[in-house]
Every structure is written in C-alpha cells, then in structure tokens.
Amino acid sequence: MSIINSKIKPFNAQAFHQGKFVSVSDQDLIGKWSVVVFYPADFTFVCPTELGDLADFYPQFQEIGVEVYSVSTDTHFTHKAWHDASETIKKINYPMVADPTGTITRNFDVMIEEEGLALRGTFVINPEGVVKVAEIHDLGIGRSASELFRKVQAAQYVANHDGEVCPAKWTPGEKTLAPSLDLVGKI
C-alpha cells in the first residue's frame, strides 16, 4: 500500500533545534505544511551536503509556510555533537529529530533493518497530516533542496486550486493544466 494520501502515524521524539533539546511529535506537523527528510547517519558524507543544501533553502521554505524536519536514527545528543563539530551542520535552523528506536523511520517505511539506518526518504505533508509527496533514494544518491522546494510549491498550488494540476518542471506563475476529455491525446 502506498504512503501517498495516508495520514502520518503518531510519534514522539527528541530533537536538537537552535541550540536546545526539544520534543517533537506528529501533532507538530498538523496545521501547516511540513517536509520530513530522512537520512542515514550523522558524521557521514552525502548527508551533510543534503542537510546543508536544505539549510540554505530553509528561509524560502519558511516564507511559504513550511517547516522542515530532518530525521535519522541517531540520538539528539549525536545531532548536537555533529552541529558543534561541522561548519555545514552549524547552518541548520530546522529541527534535527532523533529516532534511535526507529519508530518514525519505520512509520515512513524507510528503515534498513539490517543496518538500523534510514534510506534517503523525503515526504511532503499537508496541514491535515496527509502525505502528498514521497520520494526514496538509495544511500549514495543525494537530493536537491531546490527540486524539493518546487515540489512543495506544486503541492500547495494543487491543494489551493481544485481541478488544476501542475505539469513537469512547473514553477509558480507558469501555466497549469485542467484535466478534461478535451485534453486527452492533445499534450
């Protein structure tokens, strides 16, 4: 069964956020758009490039009402240590969620059981707590924050414009489509 259009499952976790340890739960994702980005582990190689890229785009996500959460199976203490040790990770202003039990990682079906690590999973969740975008990468394939940002903009547009859909490479201001019998075979 696909995770698309499913409601997120309950969770409670600790996170490192702006110099503090804070609690984060599924309820924090309700009422606003959210992006949850799973990554394998702190102190690794591709992960800081992705999280740093996301940190650079974070103000733009905030401008369109989106909260970003990164999640790994590391502890919140490890997140803090990584933050203190890495110039790239120091740029992060979004919550870094700890999932040492793997509950959240399993909830989103991105756990590599043999390793206790998460695949590179990206999920866009609407204000009702429903998954609208799900993308999962193998460990060696990094993601792009700019492409994720475009997907969030498209998801928000479709949510606010009933009967319209966003074609490939759509960005705000470009033409959308209104699916109908008249369009069949014309594109």
Name the residues annotated as catalytic: 47
Please give the C-alpha separations between residue 108 and each of 61, 88, 93, in angstroms, as whole numbers: 22, 26, 23
Q: Is 13 helix (H, G, I), strand (E, B) or coil?
A: strand
With beta carbons less than 8 A apart as the criterion, state whether 39 and 72 touch. Answer: yes
CA angle, 57 as apex, 56 and 63 as ends, to 5°?
A: 130
Q: Which residues pair with 7 in a beta bridge?
A: 130
